[in-house]
Amino acid sequence: MSDTKIKSEFIRHGFWHKVYRNRENLKLCKVKGIRLSGPARGRPPQNDVIDKKQDYVDICERIEVERKFSLAKFKCGLGLIRLRLLDTGLCTIALSIVVLNLNLRKVLCAHFQFFMLGLNGDSYFRKLVMIQ
């Protein structure tokens, strides 16, 4: 299988969820060097050493991604897309993600400007005081 086929299968079927941890998908991911989080298949051994730290990191990463998708659905209307043509739908999704990234850039630039004014903006604040 090609890499684009694997990526599209992951996106389409949501292989990141534990439900899709079957033998075929695990073997395919092992060949491609993709690590899927979750328990091993079959009955767990008696003296099982669970890597709880890695499970916690995986869960945190998945929550972070789901949070971004929910923000995109709520703020940019990504959940309201009802288009019939594939190209139009993809373009609408791409524009929503661009708007989401622009909003993030605007917030980061505002924080940066605030801190830069705090460092060398004393004369700027003096001008504001004199004008008022």
Condensed to tens digits (0 to 9), the pLDDT of residues 29-64 reads 888 887 777 777 777 767 666 677 877 887 888 888
pTM strictly above 0.75: no
Helix axes 52-75, 86-120, angle to 10 degrees: 100
Judgement on whether residues 66 and 130 belong to the same structural domain of the protein: yes
Judgement on whether residues 77 and 119 belong to the same structural domain of the protein: yes
Domain count, the chain: 2
Judgement on whether residues 69 and 119 belong to the same structural domain of the protein: yes
Per the rule left: phi > 0, alpha: psi between -120 and 50, beta: everything else, 103 is: alpha
What is the sign of the dihedral through the CA atoms of 12, 16, 22 and 23?
Answer: positive
Q: Is the pLDDT of residue 93 over 70?
A: yes
Measure the CA–CA gap between 76 and 71, rounded to whole angstroms: 8
pLDDT of residue 29: 80
Tokens 């996106």 locate to: 11
Judgement on whether residues 65 and 26 belong to the same structural domain of the protein: no
Enter the DSSP assignment of 81. -
**Residue-number span of the structural domain to which 18 is assigned:** 1-44
Q: Which of 12, 29, 44 is the last residue of a domain?
A: 44
92 CB-near residues (< 8 Å, 6+ apart): 81, 83
pLDDT band at 115; cut points 50, 70, 90? low
Tokens 């969820």 locate to: 17
Query: What dihedral angle (degrees, nearest 10) is formed by the CA atoms of 42, 46, 47, 51?
Result: 30
pLDDT of residue 71: 80
pLDDT of residue 81: 75
Judgement on whether residues 119 and 61 belong to the same structural domain of the protein: yes
pLDDT of residue 130: 44
